[in-house]
Amino acid sequence: MARTTSSSTGGPSAPRNRTPQPLPRRRRTFGDFVKAFLAFVALAALVFGVPGALAIAVGWPLPGGMPSLDWLQQEITVGTFVNVLTVVVWLAWAQFTACVLVEVKAALSGVGMPGRIPGAGGSQLLARQLVAALLLVGATAASFAPGLSQFGQSLEGNQKPASAASAQQTPGGLFGDQAGGAANAVAEQAEQAADRAGSSAKDGDTKYYRIQPPEGRHHDSMWEIAERHLGDGRRYKEIYQLNKDREQPDGSRLSEASLIRPGWIMEMPADAHGGELVEMPDEAPKVSQDVKEQISDYAKSGDHQQGGGAQEQGGSGSGSGSGDRDTAHITIPEQRPSESGKGKQEAPVAGSGSESEGFSFGLPEALIGAPLLAAGLLGALGRRRRHALWQSAMGAVGGRRGMEPPTPTGGAADVQDALLVGADPEGVRLLDLSLRGLAASLAEESRALPTVYAAWLSNGDLHLQLAQPAGRPPAPWQLGQDQTFWMLARTDAERYEDVDTAAPYPGLVSLGTLDDSRLLLNLEAVPGVVSLSGREADRAAVFASVAAELATNGWSDRMTITLVGFGQDLTPLAPNRLRHLDDIEALIETMEAETRQRRGALGAAGHDSVLTGRTGPAQHTRWAPHLVLLAAEPEGDDAVKLAELAADASRLGIGYLVGTESGDLPGAAWEMEITPEGKLLAPLLGLELEAQALPEAQQRAVVELFVEADPGEDGTSGPGSGRTATTPPFLVDVTEQGRPAVYARLVGTYEIIGLETPDGERSPLMHEALALLLLHREGVHPRVLSSALWPRGVTEDVRDALIDRLREWLGTEPDGTPRLKADRSGRLTLAKSVVSDLDVLRSLYHEATQGRGANSRAVRGRMLTDALVLVRGPLLSDRPQGRYGWLTHEIIDAQLPLLVADIGLALSEFHLEKGRAEKAIEALNAALNSAPGDERLWNELLRATHAVGDPARLQQVAADLVARSGARGVPPRTEALLDELLPTWRSGLTAVS
């Protein structure tokens, strides 16, 4: 990849000066000399003055010869205490002097990291600052570690913006001496600002850094290098881009920022500074000849090495690096150009309904920007509402009660609109098909599932990041930027079909976005605990988002999610998946038992991990993940026990996400932080994401939606709803005086009466917009309308233009009021003069059973008959393929058959009251055409046919019922009714059929 950098002599395309040159020296001020003199005095006093003062004032504190046993029995005097303290001071002096010698050696050599004196800590930091201040006025001071001279100065405008890169990589290793690093970073940034004010020619200089060998548990990392020498750890990406895929002295190449080796050479940006850099290898003091030659050879490898190295598959970089990992790393995949070759995105990552406007339009942006979470919640909410409808219908006697679910208001209405706008059900479907298809292909090849740390959704493509190389993936999957990435293009994913295999990676959950890519972390694959630090409210929002998506996602089968320390009870979202525990003690007791059980089960089955079990014959019944979300920080022994449990958890399919105040948690493999600005930071993973979160107010609103959708104890929807009859949200005048101005037929083929058909290609779009408005008489938010009509996104001006055309098409009332207007909340509503046959159908049934027909038999019969005549087929039966996708979010497909069944049952009851069995059968058959699976209709048809008194006809109805039931068999209640009405139905079915 070519790199352009501005220089003092050219524009952006001017070439970099890659010849090692000396750094221009900063002019020393009088203050520098004063500080250097004071540093000299301090060093002289501490190194030479302390031992001199001790020798004169106290003398040698230790005895001159071997003490006798009598010495131990002598009385302890003040002199004894003085001698003991003198020994302590001598030891402290010796340690400080060793620190000074080490720092002086490192400063004079110009290469390498200073040695670390055991237990020195602050003493070594003080020695480093004094030495740097002293050498600040020396001949080579420009390249040495900075001193105290710059503390307290302004650092604003000090950082150079990170260069744009097509891929963000991650630094590895652990942070070392944070106190010393922070002090160095502050001082170095201040000196850097002063140096930049000098000469613009410095921008073209080239400096090099040699990766230092590990010392104890401290490993050099690009983040620390950038923090020390560039003033900002996040600028490690610049170092990575300068050195990516260039051959190192040991023959390997840098392919990931997290995988660097001691002895490697890093070219540094022009503004790098600090005592560990080498600017002139040929003249650098105390640098071996080998190092000089290596740096010189490395300087000759330039931009010709920066081409497509990252796209090489099976290269030495990826292969050699994978074996050096001591922890799990995450890397963002390189962007794949779109098919047009212009890099245009196929769809916005932020959500299927995202728009270009930069303001909220009154809806919760957290859910709009979380398409997978929104799709899961919306799908689960729809299933809950359908279940409530059917459960209520099956419990009703003589008709349906509570046909309409409660209409959300206030915050719940806004959250529901945000779900409709943000949801990307197609993205969820493709993700699920892709993962299951991969598992099926690997099973056919008798290959195990690879361990996946993370998945990235980027420009419509799916990238899986593996824990280690696993060979070539099965087609149509391809290798990504290296051996640890498997990639599937969206066009290939769309060709997948449903396969009968278990979900391979159900623990994937969205954490946030980086540019145009969305990260899903595989919680059950993390080798240890994932810790999350930050403010309590911010952590709680991230935890709630993770819990809600895991509980409702569409790419998993079975799962257990244990929540501890959650303020909001999220159980209503998925009672079969979510469970709350009271405290950490209960969690540890539970997880110790489950860990033992899973280890034993894996051993008995002969599997080394749950991944091999998921591709075996018991894939659908075993090895479901158990994910623990602990919002409260464990302490003391509890934290240690949790770390011990998590050490082997990834093999067992158990994952731990734990909150922490301090950010220091035992056993934490990955450490993340949520900032008040909504950034999710993981410095050691090299991630800085826009976090996906679910704030407390939206948690309450989401839970409210699910609670209201739950069926009550009596079979009706909502808590405490009782068996009271409900009124439809919109009633029309069904008399002759209530003739509408615009009438749309939606039940069956789509027809509009009272309007001219719009001309041109916009006609289908306007018809679809009107249908959406007719199905939501409570109003439709403009963003909901635009996301329904343009699932891949649309600009605000296009949406507003459609609304204007729609308003003009619908016309105005006689008083001049437009038939399409906006209410106080901004939602679009239709005038009462614009109605649909569905509105009339609901109104007729309500009027027949609860209005005038309740007290007049003649009115009831006429209205029920008129209502059944309106049913001409399924809703919008002629809708074009590829449009009206928003209907998948609706429950009208469940409501309409139930409403038709209720009308048929009521009309059948009306006729049977007068002994008109044939009329009742006719009404029931008409209703069965639209609701063939309604058990109530079949039961009433059996009763009506039995009333006719023709056993052969009753036997034929029974045979049709059994044939429709298929492999599921006849429902128990219907079977009991057949035994009562036709005891010989089992033996006679074969003959009849």
Distance (Å, rounded) from C-alpha 494 to C-alpha 462?
12
Give the DSSP letter of residue 231.
S
DSSP H helix total and E strand total for the chain: 32, 21
- For residue 182, the model assigns a pLDDT of 32
Long-range contacts of 287-292 (CB under 8 A, 24+ apart): 287/109, 287/110, 287/111, 291/111, 291/210
* 137-163 per-position pLDDT tens digit: 553 333 333 332 222 333 233 333 333
Distance (Å, rounded) from C-alpha 338 to C-alpha 250?
37
Distance of CA 765 to the CA centre of its chain: 33
Q: Which residues pair with 717 in a beta bridge?
A: 711
Dihedral pair phi/psi, residue 955, rounded to 5°: -65, -35
Is the bond leading into 782 cis (omega within 30 degrees of zero)?
A: no
- For residue 348, the model assigns a pLDDT of 34
Which of 173, 277, 305 is CA-nearest to residue 671? 173
Which of 313, 651, 259, 669 is CA-nearest to residue 469? 313
Distance (Å, rounded) from C-alpha 481 to C-alpha 310?
6
Distance (Å, rounded) from C-alpha 19 to C-alpha 458?
39
Tokens of 570: 């999220």
- For residue 781, the model assigns a pLDDT of 93
- For residue 621, the model assigns a pLDDT of 46
Tokens of 804: 């204007």
* 11-29 per-position pLDDT tens digit: 333 333 333 333 334 455 6
Tokens of 64: 């001159």
Which of 313, 277, 316, 317 is CA-nearest to residue 295? 277
- For residue 788, the model assigns a pLDDT of 92
Long-range contacts of 904-907 (CB under 8 A, 24+ apart): 904/868, 904/928, 904/931, 904/937, 904/940, 905/398, 905/399, 905/936, 905/937, 905/940, 906/398, 906/399, 906/845, 906/848, 906/849, 906/860, 906/864, 907/861, 907/864, 907/865, 907/868
- Exposed e or buried b per residue across 490-509, where buried means at least 16 C-beta atoms within 10 angstroms of its C-beta: bebbeebeeeebbbbbbbbb
Q: What is the pTM of this model?
A: 0.64
Residues of the chain whose pLDDT is less than 70? 1-32, 60-77, 81, 106-116, 119, 121, 135-205, 214-219, 255-259, 275, 279-289, 300, 302-329, 334-362, 393-405, 612-623, 711-726, 988-993
- For residue 175, the model assigns a pLDDT of 27
Distance (Å, rounded) from C-alpha 6 to C-alpha 203?
8
H-type alpha helices, 136-266: 178-196, 222-229, 236-243
- For residue 567, the model assigns a pLDDT of 76
Which of 249, 246, 279 is CA-nearest to residue 110? 279
Instruction: Measure the N-to-C terminal CA separation of the chain; round to a whole number of Å.
Output: 73
Tokens of 297: 């050879």
